[in-house]
Amino acid sequence: MTSSQFAVCSSESALLHYRFCILTSAFVCPLYPFIPSSLSGYTLEPWNPRTPAYRLLEHTSDIKVEVYGTDLAELFTNAATCLFDLILDREKVSEAKAVPVSLQAATLPELLLDWLRELLFLFSTRYLAVRRVEIASIEPTRVSATAFGEEFDQERHGLKVEVKTPTYHQYRIDKTDQGYRATVVFDV
């Protein structure tokens, strides 16, 4: 295992950070993953791909994430959660609207990128701030879902970062023993 596969706790505040930010996925924390240059004096806990649903990875100019799911429905749900956690304070979004989303693509990798682009399109054109999504049906080349949210209100929801689009740079989807893992770089 590499050092990036561990959650690192060195003090009581770091442990609180780990328990609140990482385990609950309450919001995207810019400190995660925090890997010190020297591991002496640190307690290492094996990283579990099920907690959280996604994690931030190092990238020089954009935002790189790794998203996990035991199946395709969970992968797509977690990708939507990750996207809107990056953009706004998702916990402050109510579920006043239900918007159907149906997509078809030639391949699974194209479908996931199209899914993220469609959610960004809804945010940019219909001002839909998404709190959660429900996947009704999914196959490797099509998805049918409902996005629950409300009209974006910058004062209430905040705007953390403007995500332009998911890119092909370092993009991949892997089938793992635990399910699926997708690596996505968002252009910001």
Geometric angle at alpha carbon 37, from 32 and 42, rounded to 5°: 75
Residue 81 CA, distance from chain mean position: 5
Query: What b/e string do you get for 86-100 counting C-beta neighbours within 10 Å, with b at 16 or more?
Result: bbbbbeebeeebeee
Which pLDDT belongs to residue 48? 52
Which pLDDT belongs to residue 51? 55
Which pLDDT belongs to residue 52? 77
Q: If the chain, 188 residues long, is cut into consecutive pieces of 10 residues, what is the mean pLDDT of each piece? A: 34 41 43 36 42 87 96 98 97 97 98 98 98 98 98 96 95 95 96
Distance CA 161, CA 133 (A): 21
Q: How many C-beta neighbours within 10 Å does residue 131 have?
A: 21
Residue located via tokens 């996005």: 147
Domains and their CATH numbers in the chain: 1-47 (no CATH), 50-187 (3.55.10.10)
Q: What pLDDT digit, counting tens, does each position of 37-74 carry?
A: 333 343 334 445 445 799 999 988 999 999 999 999 99
Could you tell me the two tokens for 47?
């990283």
Query: To the nearest whole number, what is the mean pLDDT of the chain?
Result: 81
pTM reported for the whole predicted model: 0.74
Could you tell me the two tokens for 106?
């030639």
